[in-house]
């Protein structure tokens, strides 16, 4: 047992030690009727740990300090929007009526949940400028696949068998994967020197085989696609659809809408822009939004609202015959939907706009603080994130991944490294709006201190982390072991 990592729950187990859960109000302690009936109890004993309540609490609090998380300190993981998650979201998601709801509950008995999902879809449609939104996919990548299957169904219905999807080389790795999974062929295009889509390059590959162009805007360099209108018009002129990878919509909330830019279909990661812990912290949920001409192809069931004699009712409706079908049992991860709803309703429209403004301000502030110590290949103002490069540090023998590990010694989480692929030694930094000026100053100070260390003591940086519970693994040895295995 590694003492640094603490004891396992089995190590602290003591026979006949238990936590106590009092019976429900009105149920006598002697009443065993609420217990599992004897015929359902297993016969062989399981070797469960036996631990008292305070020891269980301490055990899990201890475990929670071993890793880094957003409740502990800054987590500026570019493209992932690891923002602080307001506790009111968790409180709403923990309401007993939501937690105890069975998905087979008849519509009449779960009006609140249906209303919440209906209203959330309406809100997201308004935020993005789309005509309809569904909440089924359970992650961003699945949302991409849904959007692409919708594009395929749309073209097939028009009697066209378009096979290719154009993707800029700055796109998220899930984009080409979703394209392939949906039966299309990805056609990558090179970004120009400014890190944007070049309309001339696009024109050279855009033709009647193009089903869709998949764009991330702001793109993964944190830059707004300035030619977006022209790009969309070019695609539409060739009969192609335009997909918006809106996993990361932080910078646009209340400021600009994909629907107004002309996008036909988009997905949103509710577990990024609309809070909720993710990335080892919990499940995800995505929404898919479309313009009118694509509504029949949306996955189902839909939730519809009706009003008769002043009585409002919500019910599930089977999807349109043209629908791509169902991509998830029931709806998406409902707890994530409750959090997204609570987040939107507690901030309101002015609050959401402020989220976008502050996320842009924070990213630009941090970029300015570190720009003399690290190369920033695509200069100029950014949106909610920016991509620096450790190319200069690499000349001293320290790569981006090691700078990331050294940051852990400062008690903060590193940025995303080596992505996007078009920036060598990329450090992709997204502070988000929830970091204070003091936290951003401290993060910049850490990055500047490391840049100095790279010049004076690169070996020290290369041996990092020095203060974490688990030190760096011997990567060369791990590679050798894997080879042998």
Ligand X SMILES: *Cc1c(COP(=O)(O)O)cnc(C)c1O
Binding range to ligand X, per CB under 6 A, among 94-102, 139-147, 228-236, 444-452: 139-147
Number of chain residues interacting with ligand X (CB under 6 A): 13
The backbone torsions φ and ψ at residue 304, rounded to the nearest 5 degrees and listed phi first, read: -115, 150
Contact between 182 and ligand X (CB under 6 A)? no
Contact between 79 and ligand X (CB under 6 A)? yes
Extract the tokens encoding 318. 């089977």
The answer to whether residues 287 and 344 touch, using CB atoms and an 8 Å cutoff, is no
Give the CB-nearest residue to ligand X: 140
Among 136, 174, 249, 359, binds ligand X (CB under 6 A): 174
Binding range to ligand X, per CB under 6 A, among 95-103, 135-143, 406-414, 471-479: 135-143
Other beta carbons within 10 Å of 379 = 12
Contact between 333 and ligand X (CB under 6 A)? no
Extract the tokens encoding 199. 């309309």
Between 176 and 465, CB nearer to ligand X: 176
Among 284, 296, 400, 414, binds ligand X (CB under 6 A): 284
Q: Which of residues 201-220 bind ligand X (CB under 6 A)?
A: 216, 220
Q: From CA 288, how far away is CA 260, in angstroms rounded?
A: 16
Identify the bridge partners of residue 265 per DSSP, sorted by sequence position. Answer: 243, 290
Nearest approach in angstroms of CB 137 to ligand X is 9
Q: From CA 37, how far away is CA 23, in angstroms rounded?
A: 16
Among 128, 182, 248, 275, binds ligand X (CB under 6 A): 248
CA atoms within a 13 Å half-sphere pointing along the CA-CB vector of 270: 36
The answer to whether residues 379 and 388 touch, using CB atoms and an 8 Å cutoff, is no
Between 172 and 405, CB nearer to ligand X: 172
Name residue, tokens 């065993």: 32
Contact between 245 and ligand X (CB under 6 A)? yes
Nearest approach in angstroms of CB 305 to ligand X is 28
Torsion, CA 133, CA 265, CA 419, CA 362, rounded to 10: -60
Nearest approach in angstroms of CB 409 to ligand X is 27
Between 248 and 393, CB nearer to ligand X: 248
Nearest approach in angstroms of CB 167 to ligand X is 11
Contact between 269 and ligand X (CB under 6 A)? yes
Contact between 140 and ligand X (CB under 6 A)? yes
Between 264 and 430, CB nearer to ligand X: 430
Contact between 134 and ligand X (CB under 6 A)? no
3-state SS, residue 312: strand
Q: From CA 152, how far away is CA 157, in angstroms rounded?
A: 9
Q: From CA 433, how far away is CA 84, in angstroms rounded?
A: 9
Please report, in angstroms and rounded to a whole number, the separation of the first and last CA atoms in the chain.
24
Binding residues vs ligand X (CB under 6 A): 79, 139-141, 172, 174, 216, 220, 245, 247-248, 269, 284
């Amino acid at each position: 047992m590694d003492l640094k990592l603490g004891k396992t729950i089995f190590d602290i187990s003591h026979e006949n030690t238990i936590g106590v859960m009092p019976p429900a109000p009105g149920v006598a302690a002697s009443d065993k009727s609420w217990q599992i009936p004897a015929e359902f109890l297993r016969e062989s004993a399981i070797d469960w740990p036996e631990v008292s309540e305070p020891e269980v609490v301490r055990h899990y609090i201890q475990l929670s300090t071993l890793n880094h998380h957003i409740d502990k300190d800054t987590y500026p993981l570019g493209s992932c929007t690891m923002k602080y998650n307001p506790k009111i979201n968790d409180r709403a998601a923990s309401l007993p009526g939501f937690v105890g709801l069975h998905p087979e509950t008849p519509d009449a008995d779960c009006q609140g949940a249906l209303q919440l999902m209906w209203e959330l879809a309406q809100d997201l449609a308004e935020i993005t400028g789309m005509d309809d939104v569904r909440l089924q996919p359970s992650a961003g990548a699945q949302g991409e696949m849904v959007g692409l299957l919708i594009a395929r169904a749309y073209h097939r219905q028009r009697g066209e068998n378009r096979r290719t999807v154009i993707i800029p080389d700055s796109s998220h790795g899930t984009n080409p994967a979703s394209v392939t999974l949906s039966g299309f062929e990805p056609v990558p295009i090179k970004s120009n020197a400014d890190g944007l889509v070049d309309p001339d390059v696009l024109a050279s590959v855009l033709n009647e085989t193009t089903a869709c162009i998949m764009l991330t805007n702001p793109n993964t360099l944190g830059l707004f696609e300035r030619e977006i209108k022209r790009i969309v018009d070019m695609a539409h002129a060739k009969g192609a659809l335009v997909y918006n990878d809106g996993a990361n919509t932080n910078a646009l909330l209340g400021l600009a809408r994909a629907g107004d830019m002309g996008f036909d279909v988009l997905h949103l990661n509710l577990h990024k822009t609309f809070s909720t812990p993710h990335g080892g912290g919990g499940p995800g949920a995505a929404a898919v939004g479309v313009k009118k001409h694509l509504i029949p192809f949306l996955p189902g069931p839909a939730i519809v609202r009706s009003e008769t004699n002043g009585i409002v009712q919500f019910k599930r409706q089977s999807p349109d015959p043209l629908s791509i079908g169902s991509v998830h049992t029931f709806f998406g991860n409902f707890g994530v939907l409750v959090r997204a709803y609570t987040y939107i309703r507690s901030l309101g429209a002015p609050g959401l706009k402020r989220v976008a403004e502050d996320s842009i301000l924070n990213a630009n502030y941090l970029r300015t603080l570190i720009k003399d110590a690290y190369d920033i290949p695509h200069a100029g103002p950014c949106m909610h994130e920016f991509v620096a490069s450790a190319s200069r540090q690499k000349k001293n023998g320290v790569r981006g991944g090691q700078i990331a590990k050294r940051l852990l010694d400062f008690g903060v989480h590193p940025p995303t490294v080596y992505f996007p692929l078009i920036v060598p030694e990329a450090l992709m930094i997204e502070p988000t709006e929830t970091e204070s000026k003091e936290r951003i100053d401290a993060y910049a100070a850490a990055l500047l201190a490391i840049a100095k260390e790279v010049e004076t003591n690169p070996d020290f940086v290369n041996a990092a982390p020095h203060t974490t519970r688990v030190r760096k693994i011997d990567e060369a040895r791990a590679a050798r072991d894997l080879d042998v295995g």
